[in-house]
C-alpha cells in the first residue's frame, strides 16, 4: 500500500498531535496517581533548598523538569513543612512517609488549586512522550528507511503503555526516551568509534542513569557492545579503556552537577549505630561500616547512591504481587511476560510472533545478523533479563524502555509484510485492530487490557496495582458518589488527602461492614478487592469506575 506524498507529509504531525492531544486530555481528566505528587514535590524542594531529601529512589533529571513550573507558579507550602523536612534529614533513613505526607498536603490541603497543579506537573511528561514518538520515527527512518520510520511512529503513538503512563510525572516513559537515545549513540559509536561519539554516548548514558535507576541495564549492555565493536574494528586496548573512562567520567560529572555538588551524610549523635546497621544491611555483613560512611560521599553524591541501593534492595527482596487471581509472596519471573500478553493489542502480539519467525528463518538459512540487530538484541535483552530477575513487580510501566524497541520491530515486520502481500485491506485491518482497542478504552489507558481480560469489569482478576488502580480516578469516583449518594457517607478502605479533598464525608470502612445496613456508599479499589476485602467479590457493585473502583450500596448489598 503506497502513501501519497501529501499523506506522508501530514502523517507524522498528525500522529504527534494525536499523542499530545490524548495526553493533555488524560492529564486533565485523570487525578494524580499515588506517586506523582511525590516526584514533583521532592524535585521542587531540592531545587529551592539545594538538597534532595525526599524520594531518593528516583534520580532527579526528569523529576526536576516536573518541578520547574512551580518556580514560577507560586504555591502555599504544607503546615508541617519544616517538621517533615527535618524528619527526613538523616541519610540512612527511609523518608517515604514524610515525602508522601508533604506532597499530598501540598497539593490537597494547603489552599492550592489541585487541578492546576496536576496539569502543570504533567506538562514535561507530555513533552517527553511527544519527543519519544518523534525520535522513534527519526531513528527508525535513519537506520531502516522512511517506511519503517512511519510504521514505527504509528505503533508507538498507539502503544497502550506509553500513552497510559507517558503524561504522568513518573520516570518510566522518560527512561524509554533516554534509553533509546543511549542505543542510538552506542550504534553511532559502533559505526565510527571516535572520541566524539564516545562523548555523545557518555552524555546519553548519563541522561538515562540520572532519569531512573533501572537504566543501570545500559551499563552491562554497553560493555558487551564495546567488546563486540573492539573485536570487529580491532580497537586497541588503550582506546577501549579511554572511551570507557570518557563515558563513566561524563556520568560522574553530570551526577555531581545534578545533585548540587553536595554529598551529605547526616548522622545525629544518637544515629551513629543505626547508620552503621543501615550500611551493613545495604552493603553486606563483611565490610567496615564506618569506612563506607566515610568513603561514600567522595565517590558519587550520597543521596544518589542511597536511592540506587534502595532500588537494588527492593529488586532483591521484592514484595507481594498479584497476578492471574493469585497473590505471590514475592516477585515472579513470568510477571512481565504475562502482562505483555494481557496488556498488548493482540494484533501486535501476532506481528511480534511473525518477527520471531523471520528471525529464526534467517538463522536456519545461516544468514548473519547485522551489527544493528545485535545492538537491539543486547540492549533489549539485558533490560528484559534484569526486569525478569527483579522481584519488585509493580507494573508493566517498568519495562517501558522495551516499548519503542518493540514498535521498531513491528515496523520492520509490517514493511516486509506489505512487500509480500500487496492487498491494502490486510494492512487496513491490522491498523484498525491496533487502534480500536485504544479508542474504546481511552478514558483509562492506565488499566488497558486486551480481549484476553474480558469482561473488562473482571479485569482485577488478572492484574492490579499500577496496571489498573493507581489512584487515577478519584474525581470520577467523587462525581458518582455526589450524584448517586447525596449527603450520605462514603466508606473507604483507607482515607487519604486525595479522597478527603474529593469526598470530605468519607469514613473508615470496617472489614466486617458488609451487611450492616448503614446508608451510604462503600468504595473498594481492585487491589483491596483481592486482599483483605475479598468477601465483597460475592456482591454485585452498584457502580464500577474505570474497571478498577467498585462502589457498593451499604444498605443494599446484592449477591452476584
Q: Give pLDDT tens digits for 513-551.
A: 655 677 889 999 999 999 989 999 999 999 999 999 999
Q: Which residue has the cell 518556580?
A: 71
Number of H helices, E strands in the chain: 24, 9
Cell numbers 469489569 correspond to what residue?
457
Q: What is the pLDDT of residue 267?
A: 56
Give the model confidence (pLDDT) of 491-503 as tens digits. 998 877 787 888 8
Cβ neighbours of residue 284 under 8 Å, at least 6 residues apart? none
Place of cell 513518573: 170
Q: Decide if pLDDT at 343 tops 90.
A: yes
Instruction: Establish whether the linkage from the previous residue to 455 is cis, with ω within 30° of 0.
Output: yes
pLDDT per residue as tens digits for the range 388-413: 999 999 999 999 999 999 999 999 99
User: What is the three-class DSSP state of 158?
Assistant: coil
Which SS3 state, helix, strand or coil, does residue 108 take?
Answer: helix
Which of residues 378 and 507 earns the better pLDDT score?
378
**Which cell numbers hold the place of 259?**
545533585
Q: How far apart are CA 108 and CA 117, in angstroms?
A: 10
Position 494 scores a pLDDT of 82
- Residues in contact with 556: Cβ distance below 8 Å, sequence separation at least 6, in sequence order: 542
**Pick from 136, 158, 176, 174: nearest CA to 351:** 158
For residue 492, the SS3 value is strand
What does the alpha-carbon distance between residue 454 and residue 231 come to, in Å, rounded to a whole number? 51
User: 296: closest CA among 246, 287, 54?
Assistant: 287
Nearest to 482 by CA among 462, 502, 455: 502
**Looking up cell 492506565, which residue turns up?**
446
Please state which of the ranges 127-136, 272-281, 481-490 shows the lowest mean pLDDT.
272-281
pLDDT given for residue 417 in this prediction = 86
| Cα–Cα distance list, 163 to 25, 44, 160, 166 (Å) | 11, 25, 5, 5
- For the chain, the 3-state helix, strand and coil shares in percent, each to the nearest 5, are 65, 5, 30
Are 159 and 340 a contacting pair, CB within 8 Å? no
What does the alpha-carbon distance between residue 184 and residue 204 come to, in Å, rounded to a whole number?
Answer: 9
**Which pLDDT score is estimated for 155?**
98
CA distances to 82, 188, 267, 290, 293 from 271, in Å? 20, 49, 6, 13, 12
Q: Which pLDDT belongs to residue 7?
A: 63
- Residues in a beta bridge with 555: none
Cα–Cα distance measured from residue 238 to residue 223, given in angstroms and rounded to the nearest whole number: 15
3-state secondary structure of 101: helix
**Beta bridge partners of residue 30, listed in sequence order:** none
How many CB atoms lie under 10 A from the CB of residue 432? 11
CA distance 145 to 419: 14
- % pLDDT > 90, the chain: 71
| Mean pLDDT confidence for 12-24 | 97
Q: Is the pLDDT of residue 102 over 90?
A: yes
| Coil, strand or helix at 513 | coil
Q: CA torsion angle for 526, 480, 456, 405 (degrees, to 10)?
A: -80
Query: At how many degrees (to 10) do helices 346-364 and 402-420 cross?
Result: 70
Checking if the pLDDT of 308 tops 90, the result is no
| pLDDT 10s digits, 192-219 | 999 999 999 999 999 999 999 999 999 9
Mean pLDDT taken over the chain: 90
Whole-number pLDDT of residue 299: 85
Q: Of 297, 258, 62, whose CA–CA distance to 178 is shortest?
A: 62
CA 315/CA 38 separation, integer angstroms: 21
**More confident: 38 or 9:** 38
Please give the Cα distance from 38 to 41 (Å, whole number): 5
> What was the pLDDT predicted at 503?
82
CA neighbours within 13 Å on the CB side: how many for 442? 12
pLDDT tens for each residue of 248-307: 999 999 999 999 998 887 655 455 545 556 555 555 555 565 666 667 677 899 889 888
Q: Is the pLDDT reported for residue 62 higher than 70? A: yes
Q: Are 34 and 470 in contact (CB under 8 A)?
A: yes
Lowest mean pLDDT among 18-22, 90-94, 436-440, 553-557: 90-94
| 355-369 exposure pattern, b = at least 16 Cβ within 10 A, e = fewer | beeeeeeeeeeeeee
Give every CB contact of residue 236 below 8 A, 6+ residues apart in sequence. none
CA atoms within a 13 Å half-sphere pointing along the CA-CB vector of 406: 26
Beta strands in 158-224 (DSSP E): none
> Does residue 552 have a pLDDT over 60?
yes
pLDDT for 518: 78
Amino acid at each position: 500500500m503506497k502513501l501519497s506524498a501529501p499523506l506522508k507529509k501530514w502523517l507524522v504531525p498528525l500522529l504527534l498531535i494525536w499523542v499530545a492531544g490524548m495526553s493533555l486530555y488524560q492529564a486533565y481528566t485523570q487525578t494524580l496517581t499515588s506517586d506523582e505528587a511525590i516526584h514533583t514535590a521532592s524535585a521542587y524542594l531540592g531545587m529551592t533548598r539545594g538538597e534532595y531529601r525526599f524520594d531518593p529512589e528516583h534520580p532527579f533529571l526528569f523529576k526536576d523538569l516536573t518541578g520547574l513550573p512551580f518556580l514560577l507558579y507560586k504555591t502555599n507550602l504544607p503546615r508541617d513543612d519544616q517538621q517533615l523536612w527535618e524528619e527526613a534529614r538523616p541519610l540512612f533513613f527511609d523518608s517515604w512517609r514524610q515525602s508522601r505526607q508533604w506532597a499530598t498536603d501540598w497539593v490537597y490541603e494547603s489552599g492550592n488549586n489541585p487541578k492546576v497543579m496536576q496539569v502543570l506537573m504533567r506538562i514535561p511528561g507530555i513533552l517527553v512522550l511527544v519527543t519519544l514518538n518523534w525520535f522513534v520515527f527519526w531513528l527508525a527512518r535513519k537506520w531502516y528507511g522512511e517506511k519503517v520510520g512511519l510504521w514505527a511512529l504509528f505503533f508507538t503513538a498507539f502503544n497502550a503503555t506509553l500513552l497510559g503512563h507517558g503524561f504522568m510525572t513518573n520516570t518510566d516513559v522518560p527512561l524509554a526516551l533516554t534509553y533509546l537515545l543511549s542505543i542510538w549513540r552506542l550504534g553511532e559509536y559502533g559505526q565510527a568509534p571516535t572520541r566524539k561519539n564516545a562523548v555523545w554516548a557518555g552524555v546519553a548514558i548519563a541522561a538515562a542513569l540520572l532519569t531512573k535507576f533501572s537504566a543501570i541495564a545500559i551499563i552491562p549492555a554497553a560493555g558487551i557492545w564495546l567488546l563486540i565493536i573492539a573485536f570487529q574494528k580491532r580497537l586497541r586496548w588503550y582506546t577501549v579503556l579511554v572511551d570507557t573512562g570518557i563515558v563513566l567520567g561524563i556520568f560522574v560529572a553530570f551526577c555531581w552537577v545534578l545533585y548540587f555538588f553536595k554529598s551529605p551524610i547526616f548522622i545525629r549523635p544518637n544515629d551513629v549505630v543505626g547508620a552503621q546497621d543501615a550500611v551493613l544491611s545495604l552493603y553486606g555483613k563483611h565490610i567496615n561500616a564506618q569506612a563506607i560512611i566515610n568513603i561514600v560521599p567522595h565517590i558519587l553524591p550520597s543521596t544518589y547512591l542511597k536511592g540506587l541501593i534502595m532500588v537494588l534492595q527492593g529488586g532483591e527482596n521484592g514484595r507481594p504481587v498479584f497476578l492471574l487471581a493469585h497473590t505471590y509472596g514475592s516477585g515472579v519471573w513470568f510477571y512481565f511476560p504475562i502482562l505483555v500478553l494481557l496488556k498488548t493489542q493482540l494484533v501486535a502480539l501476532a506481528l511480534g510472533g511473525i518477527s520471531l519467525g523471520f528471525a529464526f528463518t534467517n538463522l536456519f538459512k545461516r544468514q548473519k545478523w547485522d551489527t544493528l540487530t545485535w545492538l537491539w538484541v543486547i540492549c533489549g535483552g539485558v533490560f528484559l533479563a534484569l526486569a525478569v530477575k527483579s522481584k519488585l513487580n509493580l507494573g508493566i510501566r517498568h519495562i517501558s524502555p522495551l516499548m519503542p524497541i518493540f514498535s521498531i520491530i513491528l515496523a520492520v515486520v509490517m514493511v516486509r509484510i506489505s512487500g509480500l502481500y500487496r492487498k491494502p485491506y490486510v494492512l487496513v485491518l491490522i491498523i484498525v485492530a491496533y487502534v480500536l482497542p485504544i479508542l474504546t478504552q481511552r478514558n483509562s489507558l492506565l488499566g488497558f487490557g486486551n480481549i484476553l481480560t474480558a469482561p473488562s469489569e473482571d479485569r482485577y482478576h488478572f492484574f492490579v496495582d499500577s496496571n489498573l488502580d493507581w489512584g487515577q480516578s478519584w474525581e470520577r469516583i467523587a462525581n458518582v458518589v455526589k450524584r448517586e449518594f447525596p449527603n450520605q457517607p462514603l466508606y473507604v478502605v483507607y482515607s487519604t488527602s486525595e479522597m478527603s479533598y474529593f469526598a470530605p464525608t468519607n469514613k473508615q470502612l470496617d472489614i466486617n461492614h458488609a451487611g450492616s445496613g448503614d446508608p451510604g456508599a462503600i468504595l473498594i479499589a481492585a487491589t483491596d478487592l483481592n486482599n483483605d476485602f475479598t468477601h465483597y467479590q460475592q456482591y454485585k457493585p452498584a457502580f464500577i469506575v474505570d474497571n478498577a473502583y467498585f462502589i457498593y450500596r451499604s444498605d443494599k448489598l446484592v449477591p452476584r
